[in-house]
Amino acid sequence: MAKRVLLYAVLTIGAFVSVFPYLLVVLTAFKTQAQLSSTAPWLPGLPPTAGNLATMLAGDFPRYVLNTAVMTALLTAGQLVFTTFAAYAFARLRFRGRDVLFWLYVATMMVPSAVTMIPLFLIMRELGLVNTWYGLLAPYILGTPYGIFLMRQFFKSLPAGLEEAARIDGAGQLTILLRVLLPLCRPALGTLAIITVISSWNSFLWPLIITSGDDTRVITVAIATLKSGIGVDYHLMMAGSLIALVPMVAVFVFFQRHIVRSVVLTGLK
């Protein structure tokens, strides 16, 4: 019994530590400057104020949120389409050089993004794509080796007879993929979409390097800029943080089973 109590105590402390920073963001986002210094960080400011959120939403911030949403949507769409095509070919088609190519893909999963950042910037500079949407999106919109790996694992787990039956009925490759296999892939596609949404929304270093104007500024870069702009006005910064975090928290709450599934799908092989 005592062991049981200890177990739940440990789990509860862990859960509290996990959500505490989020809690601070919410509490602080609704405090006035005066309440910020008069109340303890972990207590709400009474009465709560919506003034910080209003201030943030009145400026350029909504535009950055929109930019981020557009970037996230395009990268996720690209990832889903191109990854599905490539993973399908790797998993279900026979062609010359397939295994060599696949190992090439797996090898590139080991390439640290920090190492390719500078050459990528220089490539975009040569192409005149610095500070453009093309430059921001190009390196990531054609799908990632990790996504292809994940989807290939899933395609391989589908029974082999599926295509045969469709082929006898005279269906082409594209029809087989779109009509027969894809409907079965919805769980895996969901998982891939979630992972891509989260990593796109959170991406910082590449947008920081490749963009500089308002047209392409995303929310992570905007918040990093806030830091130098408003210094220690934490109530405003937390209001901005809240706006940045809410979409991800919503995604998480609605789709968390997909995140758990991604762990199982990766297969640990």
Partner 1 sequence: MTRGRRGGLHAYLFIGPSLFGVVAFLLLPMVIVFVLSLFDWELLSAPEFAGLDNYRRLAADGGTWHSLLVTVGYVLLSIPLQTVLALALAVLLDRRVKGLRFYRSLFVVPWMATPIVLGLVWQWIFDPRDGAINRALALVGVTGPDWLSDPSWALPAVALVSVWQYTGYNMLFFLAGLQGIPRELHDAAAVDGAGPRQRFWRVTLPLLNPTMFFVTVTNLIGAFQVFDTVYAMTDGGPSHSTEVLNFRIFQTAFKEFDFGYAATLSTLLFAVIFAVTLAQVRFFGKRTTYDLS
- Of 107-146, binders to partner 1 (CB under 8 A) are 108, 110-123, 138-143, 145
In the complex with partner 1, which residue's Cβ is closer, 157 or 266? 266
Chain residues 24-63 in contact with partner 1, contact rule CB under 8 A: 24-25, 36-37, 40-42
Stretch that binds partner 1, among 45-53, 55-63, 106-114, 184-192 (CB under 8 A): 106-114
Q: How far is the CB of 107 from partner 1 (least distance, A)?
A: 9
Per the CB < 8 A criterion, the answer to whether 195 and 83 are in contact is no
Cα–Cα distance measured from residue 194 to residue 257, given in angstroms and rounded to the nearest whole number: 10
Interface with partner 1, residue 259, by CB under 8 A: yes
Query: Which residue from 18, 99, 160, 183 is in contact with partner 1, where contact means CB under 8 A?
Result: 18
Interface with partner 1, residue 103, by CB under 8 A: no
Cα–Cα distance measured from residue 217 to residue 224, given in angstroms and rounded to the nearest whole number: 11
As given in the structure block, the two tokens for residue 185 are 């892939």
Chain residues 154-193 in contact with partner 1, contact rule CB under 8 A: 173
Query: Which residue from 71, 185, 220, 258 is in contact with partner 1, where contact means CB under 8 A?
Result: 220
**Measured torsion, CA atoms of residues 157, 161, 164, 165, in degrees rounded to the nearest 10:** -120
Query: Which residue from 204, 214, 229, 231 is in contact with partner 1, where contact means CB under 8 A?
Result: 204
Rg (CA), the chain: 23
Query: Which residue from 30, 64, 90, 149 is in contact with partner 1, where contact means CB under 8 A?
Result: 90
Cα–Cα distance measured from residue 194 to residue 197, given in angstroms and rounded to the nearest whole number: 5
Query: CA 238: distance to chain centroid?
Result: 21
Interface with partner 1, residue 252, by CB under 8 A: yes
In the complex with partner 1, which residue's Cβ is closer, 49 or 130? 130
Stretch that binds partner 1, among 46-54, 59-67, 179-187, 252-260 (CB under 8 A): 252-260
Per the CB < 8 A criterion, the answer to whether 248 and 198 are in contact is yes
Give every CB contact of residue 92 below 8 A, 6+ residues apart in sequence: 155, 163, 181
DSSP single-letter state for residue 177: I
